[in-house]
Structure 1
Amino acid sequence: MKTFRIASVAAAVLLASAIEVPAIAQSDWKVVKTFPVGGDGGWDYLTVDAASHRLFVPRTTHTQVLDENTGKVLGDIPGQKVAHGVAIAPNAGRGFITDGGGSGAIVIFDLKTYAVLGTLATVPDSDGIIYDAAQDRVLAVSGDGGVLMTFKPDIDPKNGKIDPPIELGGKPEFLAADGTGKIYINLEDKDLVAVVDLQSRSVTSRWPVTPGGHPVGMSLDSRTHRLFVGCRKPQKLIVMSTETGKVLADLPIGVGVDATKVDGALAFASCRDGSLIVAGEKAGKYEVAQTVKTPDGARTMGVDTTAHQIFLPTAEFEPQPAGSTARPKAKPGTFMIVEVAR
């Protein structure tokens, strides 16, 4: 009984002082659930709507809406050629899906009914998309077009036109907004981060991601003014200052990174090889705190920062021939969402 009381007191003290424990020491993340979803199509960026506990998952020609607690399909939005990403604007009651097929488009849908309201003409290879609530703008990039596209979320879904695109001088992959009108965009082919000022609608800086290369995933911690850039060649998680563009740290990660996310004091990088990197800061230095084993192919993710849950889409794959370097083919009907949490 005495031992139990001592352990209980110790646990209570630790809990009460948890805010003082370095985040890197709290890294005990693991796969806690797997939701079999099935259905046709590949997948790309996953978007979490934490307020409604929904996941928005592009599946090539359609976009599924899932309950994040059960994996149940709540809706299915049709009409895309090559769906890439989803942005949601709750105050406008709308969601937006980038369609990189054909001449490029953004599909506008109702957040409650999932009905398609209209389609905006954009630029071919429309890809990464986010909603900047502070500036009340939907922001999307076109890889082949090399531009940033912007528009207000209350745009006329039938006849509206996007703002004149902003030339970036490279092929963008993903982006982040700091809420003050500055947008940070990976230029994968240039190994740079482009900084765009929305007021002047121009690129004001270009920052190298060296010693990383081929930057794809990006997220921003506006509290600490740091970008987390996932690079493929070399494989690095780059920590960069948004104030100076200086690279503050470069951490080793797995093969085939496609997304980075921030939750509190931790940053995450999801990789195709079945590794989820957890990074944190300790004594002013960033370190890899943990590598979580996830299923192969879990290269993108979304984070519910209120519940501290990470959701990664993937599937089972056909066996690869010996020596093959081609992307493995997913087995039909095996699409799933993997949840990682503490």
Structure 2
Amino acid sequence: MKSFLSFLLLGGCAVAAQAQTKPATASKAASYHLLQTTTVGGEGGWDYLAVDPVAQRLYLSHATQVEVLDLHTHQKAGVISNTPGVHGIAPVPKLGRGYITNGRSNTVTVFDLNTLKETASLPTGTKPDAVFYDEYSGRVFVFNNGGASATVIDAATDKVVGTVALGGAPEAGVSDGKGQVFVNLEDTNEIVVFDAKTLAVKHRWSVAPGEEPSGLAFDRAHHRLFSVCGNGKAIVLDSESGKVVAQVPIGKGVDGAVFDEAAQAAITSNGEGTLTVIHEDSPARFRTETIASARGARTIAIDPTTHHLFLSTAQYGATPAPTTETPRPRPSIVPGTFQVLEFGR
């Protein structure tokens, strides 16, 4: 995913929705509200987070390690270290293992879900980023943002079994559970569709007028993909035809999206400090709602059992003065303020 402060570099205003979208009325109660804020502490940046709904644990990428929280107590359950440039985490409860992408070492760390100990280290393409497990194929797909490819791991053997040439920089990916994988390409403004078993690329769909797509949410039941883009739009596509069915305004600095089946809504996490809730009233009608979160909370995970949402961020300090070497400096992160926000309905 993008730098955790990339939203600060974005400009412009949110665009108006198409005719089939409308904002939620002011009289409607917010569909999600903040339940709890948990301070984790430590220093450094962050990216993806992931939920293990069976063990009720939350995995947080944080600098060069993964912090693990118990979702019942919100206490730290452990740390997985030696994950340089960590981006994504994919716990797979049925296998008792999880997978972590390490952007600096171009590797995936395989770890035991019970002990949190590393069991293997596997090579990937350049700058592995997003990762997920596909139940249909029994494979783990690692999206190499710097290598324009996906590394494919057989989860039964933890061996690399193939590579998919994607033709662009991949961000988030999802599966339809029937053998197709969909992934955003942020530099070509496309969704690429490939076969989970043969690895053959089947389709390339434009997300125009969306630009720089990152997060990808999926309503499998109604065949709707929500590709969230850096120019303040979520593009809704039919996952069977690739047709764009709607464009919806969202907040600035988006990097993540999830779909809540219980609420029939896609939720985007926006680095400006908001959540955009896209209510799917029907496969052709959408309305939006904006909820305050916190500055920098740009990635999101959902617990499919409680339907709670989790975001990570920290507090910011002063921005250093520009220099020749760093003409656009980032705000500093206040040490010890790394935290998790939990939202519920």
Q: Same fold (TM over 0.5)?
A: yes
Q: Paired residue for 1:11?
A: none
Q: How far off its partner does 1:125 sit?
A: 0.1
Alpha-carbon distance in structure 2 between the residues aligned to 1:270 and 1:91: 28
- Listed as ranges, the matches of 1:74-113 within 5 Å are 74-102=77-105, 104-113=106-115
Q: Assess if the C-alpha contact under 8 Å between 1:258 and 1:300 holds in 2.
A: yes
The superposition leaves residues 247-280 of structure 1 with CA deviations (integer Å, 9 ceiling, x where unpaired) of: 1111111111000100011110000000100011
One-letter code of the match for 1:152?
Answer: D
Q: Assess if the C-alpha contact under 8 Å between 1:191 and 1:214 holds in 2.
A: yes
- 1:243 lines up with 2:240 in the alignment: yes
Alpha-carbon distance in structure 2 between the residues aligned to 1:201 and 1:125: 20
TM normalised by structure 1 equals: 0.87
Q: Paired residue for 2:300?
A: 301
One-letter code of the match for 1:117?
Answer: T
Q: Paired residue for 2:197?
A: 199
One-letter code of the match for 1:263?
Answer: D
Q: Assess if the C-alpha contact under 8 Å between 1:221 and 1:262 holds in 2.
A: yes
One-letter code of the match for 2:257?
Answer: T
1:66 partner SS: strand
Q: How far off its partner does 1:326 sit?
A: 4.3
- 1:256 lines up with 2:259 in the alignment: no
The superposition leaves residues 41-78 of structure 1 with CA deviations (integer Å, 9 ceiling, x where unpaired) of: 32111101112211011112111111123321101001
**Is the alpha carbon distance of 1:240 and 1:68 closer, same or farther for their aligned partners in structure 2, counting shifts above 3 Å?**
same
Q: Paired residue for 1:13?
A: none
Alpha-carbon distance in structure 2 between the residues aligned to 1:286 and 1:305: 24
Q: Paired residue for 1:28?
A: 31
Q: Paired residue for 1:164?
A: 162
Q: Paired residue for 2:156?
A: 154
One-letter code of the match for 1:68?
Answer: L
One-letter code of the match for 2:94?
Answer: N
Structure possessing the higher relative contact order (Cα contacts under 8 Å, 6 or more residues apart): 2
One-letter code of the match for 1:210?
Answer: A
Q: Paired residue for 1:17?
A: none
Alpha-carbon distance in structure 1 between the residues aligned to 2:201 and 2:331: 37
Q: Assess if the C-alpha contact under 8 Å between 2:320 and 2:331 holds in 1.
A: no
1:46 partner SS: strand
Alpha-carbon distance in structure 1 between the residues aligned to 2:92 and 2:282: 38
One-letter code of the match for 1:312?
Answer: L
Alpha-carbon distance in structure 1 between the residues aligned to 2:340 and 2:59: 11
Q: Paired residue for 2:309?
A: 310
Q: Paired residue for 1:53?
A: 56
Q: Assess if the C-alpha contact under 8 Å between 1:45 and 1:301 holds in 2.
A: yes
Alpha-carbon distance in structure 1 between the residues aligned to 2:104 and 2:315: 25
Structure 1: runs of 5+ lacking an equivalent? 1-23
Tell me which structure has the larger Cα radius of gyration. Answer: 1
**Is the alpha carbon distance of 1:284 and 1:217 closer, same or farther for their aligned partners in structure 2, counting shifts above 3 Å?**
closer
- 1:338 lines up with 2:341 in the alignment: yes
1:92 partner SS: coil
Alpha-carbon distance in structure 2 between the residues aligned to 1:283 and 1:63: 38
Alpha-carbon distance in structure 2 between the residues aligned to 1:321 and 1:332: 16
Q: Assess if the C-alpha contact under 8 Å between 1:71 and 1:337 holds in 2.
A: no
Alpha-carbon distance in structure 1 between the residues aligned to 2:95 and 2:253: 35
One-letter code of the match for 1:134?
Answer: Y
Q: Paired residue for 1:270?
A: 269
Q: How far off its partner does 1:302 sit?
A: 0.5
Structure 2: runs of 5+ lacking an equivalent? 1-23
- 1:126 lines up with 2:124 in the alignment: no
Alpha-carbon distance in structure 2 between the residues aligned to 1:27 and 1:305: 20
Superposed CA RMSD: 1.8
Q: Assess if the C-alpha contact under 8 Å between 1:312 and 1:338 holds in 2.
A: yes
1:334 partner SS: coil
Alpha-carbon distance in structure 2 between the residues aligned to 1:284 and 1:26: 23
Q: Paired residue for 1:15?
A: none
Q: Assess if the C-alpha contact under 8 Å between 2:90 and 2:100 holds in 1.
A: yes
One-letter code of the match for 2:301?
Answer: G
Q: How far off its partner does 1:40 sit?
A: 2.8
TM normalised by structure 2 equals: 0.86
More helix by share: 1
Q: Assess if the C-alpha contact under 8 Å between 2:52 and 2:93 holds in 1.
A: no
Alpha-carbon distance in structure 2 between the residues aligned to 1:200 and 1:285: 32
One-letter code of the match for 1:190?
Answer: T
Q: How far off its partner does 1:197 sit?
A: 1.2
Q: Assess if the C-alpha contact under 8 Å between 2:192 and 2:205 holds in 1.
A: yes
Q: Assess if the C-alpha contact under 8 Å between 2:138 and 2:156 holds in 1.
A: no
Alpha-carbon distance in structure 2 between the residues aligned to 1:326 and 1:270: 23
